[in-house]
């Protein structure tokens, strides 16, 4: 009298197990690819963990919600590559926790904005975007130039990032606070030390046009000027990494 369907329906344990199996499929499809992440992330030259000043800038970027209007993901579309440059690589966000790919472009993509403008321009544009771009809807952030950078959380930030896989060394964590202050101080004679510690593509200078102090503007502009500049595309093998 009973179909297989009915048997199953009336067997509590069996049915619960079936539900568990079906529900776990969703998780499986999300988690399984993480085990193959090694062969998703390209091998590239130049990619390095962010310096403490850049981490601070990134935190400000997230705090101010810049990601709500700006993406950091140049897609493999002609229009994107034409306008913003080489498409983004997985490797370029491997030290981002969380990544800033975004899904909304009220303003332009920022994945390769590093080096596109000068510090002076960034500072003045962030203070009042409409001075440079008529009709811009981007808010002004002039208070960043007034707010001294709080470097105390940086050691903790680096430790937290290390826990999720960013390879900071003990020495880098110990000197996080000084490193942040000195990256914005061209007179500290510290460029060599920072580059030895992080890599030759660290930019050391006064970013916010106020040489005598380090503000949140320094951190944010240092972060923006680094975006998209780390990977050495001359040594990038596109053939080997096509997907």
Partner 1 sequence: MKSELDEASGQHTTGHEWDGVKELNTPVPLAFRVSLWLTIAVAVIMWVLYPSWPGVADYLKGTAGYSSRDRVAEAVADRQALRLQQMPEFAALDIYDLAEDPTLEARYAPAISVLYRDNCAACHGRDLKGQTNFPNLTDDHWLWSGDPGEIEYTLQVGINHTSDDTRWAQMPAFGDGMLETEDLLSVVEYVLQISGSEHDAARASVGADVFENNCVGCHNDGGIGGYENGAPSLVDDAWIYGGSRSTLRETLQYGRAGVMPGWQGRLTDEEIKKLALYVLWAGQDGPN
Residues that bind ligand HEC (CB under 6 A): 61, 64-66, 68-70, 106-108, 110, 113, 116-118, 121, 129, 133, 136-139, 141, 220, 224
- 4-12, 96-104, 149-157, 192-200 -> range binding partner 1 (CB under 8 A): 4-12
Residue 150: CB minimum distance to ligand HEC, A: 17
Nearest-angstrom CA–CA distance, 7 and 102: 48
Choice between 180 and 220, CB closer to ligand HEC: 220
Give the total of residues touching partner 1 (CB under 8 A): 38
Q: Which of 4, 126, 19 is nearest to 66 (CA)?
A: 126
Residue 9: CB minimum distance to partner 1, A: 7
71 binds, among ligand HEC, partner 1, none (CB under 5 to 8 A by kind): none
- Is 203 a binding residue for partner 1 by CB under 8 A? The answer is yes
Q: What string marks each residue from 82 to 121 as x (binds partner 1 by CB under 8 A) or -? A: xx-x-x---------------------------xxxxxxx
Residue 32: CB minimum distance to partner 1, A: 7
Q: How many CB atoms lie within 10 A of CB 133?
A: 11
Nearest-angstrom CA–CA distance, 62 and 100: 8
Residue 214: CB minimum distance to partner 1, A: 17
Place of tokens 């403008």: 117
Choice between 46 and 140, CB closer to ligand HEC: 140
Burial 46-84 (b: 16+ CB within 10 A, else e): bbbbbbbbbbbbbbbbeeeebbebbbbbbeeeeebeeeb
Q: DSSP secondary structure string, 82-124? A: HHH-SPPPGGGGTT-SS----S--SS---TT-TTTS-HHHHHH
Cβ(221)–Cβ(35) below 8 Å: no
- Is 242 a binding residue for partner 1 by CB under 8 A? The answer is yes
Nearest-angstrom CA–CA distance, 231 and 111: 12
Choice between 136 and 197, CB closer to partner 1: 136
Choice between 31 and 159, CB closer to partner 1: 31
């Amino acid at each position: 009298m009973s179909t297989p369907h009915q048997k199953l329906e009336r067997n509590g344990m069996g049915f619960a197990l079936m539900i568990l199996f079906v529900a776990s499929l969703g998780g499986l499809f999300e988690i399984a690819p993480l085990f193959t992440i090694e062969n998703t992330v390209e091998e590239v030259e130049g990619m390095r963990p962010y310096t403490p000043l850049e981490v601070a800038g990134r935190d400000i970027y997230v705090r101010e919600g810049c990601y709500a209007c700006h993406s950091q993901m140049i897609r493999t579309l002609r229009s994107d590559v034409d306008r913003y440059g080489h498409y983004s690589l997985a490797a370029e966000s491997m030290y981002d926790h969380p990544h800033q790919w975004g899904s909304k472009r009220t303003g332009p993509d920022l994945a390769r904005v590093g080096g596109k403008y000068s510090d002076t321009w960034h500072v003045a544009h962030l203070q009042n975007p409409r001075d440079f771009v008529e009709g811009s809807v981007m808010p002004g952030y002039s208070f960043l130039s007034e707010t001294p950078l709080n470097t105390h959380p940086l050691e903790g930030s680096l430790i937290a990032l290390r826990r999720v896989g960013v390879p900071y060394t003990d020495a880098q964590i110990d000197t996080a606070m000084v490193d942040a202050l000195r990256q914005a101080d061209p007179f500290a004679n510290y460029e060599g030390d920072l580059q030895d510690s992080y890599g030759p593509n660290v930019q050391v200078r006064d970013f916010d046009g106020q040489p005598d102090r380090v503000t949140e503007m320094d951190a944010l502009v240092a972060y923006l000027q680094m975006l998209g500049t780390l990977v050495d595309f001359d040594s990038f093998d596109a053939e080997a990494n096509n997907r």
